[in-house]
Amino acid sequence: MSTTTDNLTLNPTKTQSVTVADVSKRAGLSTATVSRVLNNSPLVRDKTRERVLKAMQELGYTANHSARALARRRTDTLGVIFPGIDAGFFSEVLIGANQLAAEHDLHLAVAFARNRPEEAQMVSEYLYGGRVDALILMHLRLDDRFIREAANGPTPLVLIDRPVEDARAVTVRMNNTSGAEQAMSHLLEQGFKRIAVIQGPEGTFDAEERWLGCRNAAAKFGVELDPGLIWRGTFHDRSGRELVSAWLDAGKSLPDAIFALNDPMAIGVLQALNERGLSVPKDVALVGFDDIESARYLGLSTVRSPMRELGRSACQAVIELLGGKGKVPDERILDTELVVRQSTRALV
């Protein structure tokens, strides 16, 4: 066994084991040359490069990230900050962002904020602390004024969610409106007349956009939405369940179809129906929005939110910004996709 102590943390010489200086000594060259090799500079003879690489190999050298970042003034790291949201959502965005980031040798610093002040604080720290080269921000609850200010800092900012007027930031979002329109049109095309809509919480950007899409579709088909069938939900499964339960308990008859503006609420509806021995699409057709994993398992027709693409696209924007390749479009709107499953399939 070695003579070092058992406690992993007790490291008397806390200084990094192998440095450029060590490598340069070993190779009989200067630190500048070593650095050049590290950075793939073309100004090193092949022979010299070999010597350096060999020395690195032998000493087990790995460059110190902080030192490089300090000297180069870049971290090769992207910040990604999420509000405290559904795992199902952020994880997909993260996967997407990471795909592209990895291809460009960028690392991801991820943070979740649980409340607004904490979120604002994190954003500031990331933007001004030189911790990251750019920040991808999902800013559900940060106000526009703050965002505008943040966007004026030294660090490029990419927003995922809603656009902020006059902010020097790129926005990546999805077309909620056309997505809802797709779903609604799908129902109308199938010949459903009495269609109920379970809205999202009032004042939420996505919810409002989706609701607009519903009205657009209705207008396009020249139908009138029954105000009694416009229900206010919360985006949680409970609300879908409770709305339908209450409706049925009141002895009212089911509509032909229900469009819940997100999947959890649609699943809530499904549960309420199941409890009463009712089924989909026999007793009522059902569409959700987002295409969360469970939607597939449950055969729920829905509109796929391009979450992974949102992450990719945000990362793509960052890369372009950092590359400084001239103008970067300041808004990218990704399309949704209608996914038809059993819950709206005409019966045989």
Partner DNA sequence: ATGAAAGCGCTAACAT
Partner DNA sequence: ATGTTAGCGCTTTCAT
Binding residue for a second copy, selected from 17, 39, 57, 115, defined by CB under 8 A: 17
Q: Does 160 bind a second copy (CB under 8 A)?
A: no
- Residue list 259-278, contact with a second copy (CB under 8 A): 267, 270-271
Binding residue for a second copy, selected from 33, 75, 171, 234, defined by CB under 8 A: 75
Binding residue for DNA, selected from 4, 5, 57, 64, defined by CB under 7 A: 64
| Gap between the Cα atoms of 261 and 240, Å rounded | 10
Q: Does 158 bind DNA (CB under 7 A)?
A: no
CA-closest candidate to residue 107, choices 129, 78, 132, 67: 78
Q: What is the smallest separation between the CB atom of 22 and DNA, expressed in angstroms?
A: 7
Helices assigned H by DSSP within the chain: 20-27, 31-38, 46-59, 65-72, 87-103, 116-128, 144-151, 176-189, 205-220, 237-249, 263-275, 293-298, 307-323
CA-closest candidate to residue 295, choices 333, 269, 257, 256: 269
What are 338's strand-pairing partners?
Answer: 303
CA atoms within 13 A on the CB side of 320: 14
Query: Residue 68 carries which DSSP code?
Result: H
| Gap between the Cα atoms of 331 and 36, Å rounded | 38
- 39 touches, from a second copy, DNA, none (C-beta below 5 to 8 Å by class): DNA
- Residue list 111-140, contact with DNA (CB under 7 A): 130
Residue among 248 and 322 whose Cβ is closer to a second copy = 322
- 31 touches, from a second copy, DNA, none (C-beta below 5 to 8 Å by class): DNA
Binding residue for DNA, selected from 5, 30, 121, 279, defined by CB under 7 A: 30
Site of interaction with DNA (CB under 7 A)? 15-16, 19-21, 24, 28-36, 38-39, 43-45, 47-48, 61, 63-64, 67-68, 70-73, 130
